[in-house]
Structure 1
Amino acid sequence: MSMHERKWSVEIVIDEHDSGETGSRTRAQARLRTHDKTALIGVGTARRNPKDTEIPEIGDELAAARALADLSHQLIEATVADLEAATREHIHLEA
């Protein structure tokens, strides 16, 4: 039996915008590329209250986690759509 390995890549891009009065906002994009050129982009954000201590890593982690969660939901939706197209039946995936 042969094993077919496929490689998918997720790139996370993070940027931060600082607004003195409202604090900083961190935005992350999780960009998925598959072997068949499928491309999905999940987006997540985090906001630091101006009264909070500035620890950039926390905003990065939270925004990246939210972007990955968004990407995960999009991938599940794409899978359901592909299954429904292939089977011509309504699909409900169990958690």
Structure 2
Amino acid sequence: MNMTEKNWSVEIVIDEHDADEGGSRTRAQARLRTRDTHTLVGVGLARRNPADTEIPEIGDELATARALADLAHQLIELTAADVEAATHSRVHLTE
């Protein structure tokens, strides 16, 4: 059996800003460049309530999880479009 290995990397960029209503907002971007030069960017947001203890890692983790979920959704949509283009028929991807 001949196995071909491929490696895709996702870059996560996180920034935090003070929110106008108090607390802070964390935004994460998950960037994926595929082998065929598609670039997908998933975005995730998290907001800290001003009354909550400031633990930046929690906002980073939540925003990153949401960015990765957004990226996954985009990749599924891209895959469905690629299959439809190749087969000329409607595709329903299931889990």
Normalising by structure 2, we get a TM-score of 0.94
CA RMSD across the alignment:
1.2
- Aligned residues, how many? 95
Greater alpha carbon shift after TM alignment, 19-28 vs 78-87: 19-28
Relative to structure 1, the CA distance from residue 6 to residue 21 in structure 2 (aligned partners, 3 Å threshold; closer, same or farther) is same
Q: Normalising by structure 1, what TM-score?
A: 0.94
Please name the residue that 1:2 is paired with.
Answer: 2
Determine what percentage of the aligned residue pairs are the same residue.
74
Q: CA deviation at 1:8?
A: 0.4
Q: Which runs of 5+ in 2 are unaligned?
A: none
After TM superposition, which residue ranges in structure 1, 4 or more long, deviate above 6 angstroms? none
Structure 1: stretches of 5+ with no match in the other structure: none
Distance in 2 between the 1:48 and 1:65 partners? 16
Q: Deviations over 1:10-50 (max 9, x none)?
A: 00000000137421000000001122222100000000001
Check whether the contact 1:14–1:28 (CA below 8 A) recurs between aligned residues. yes
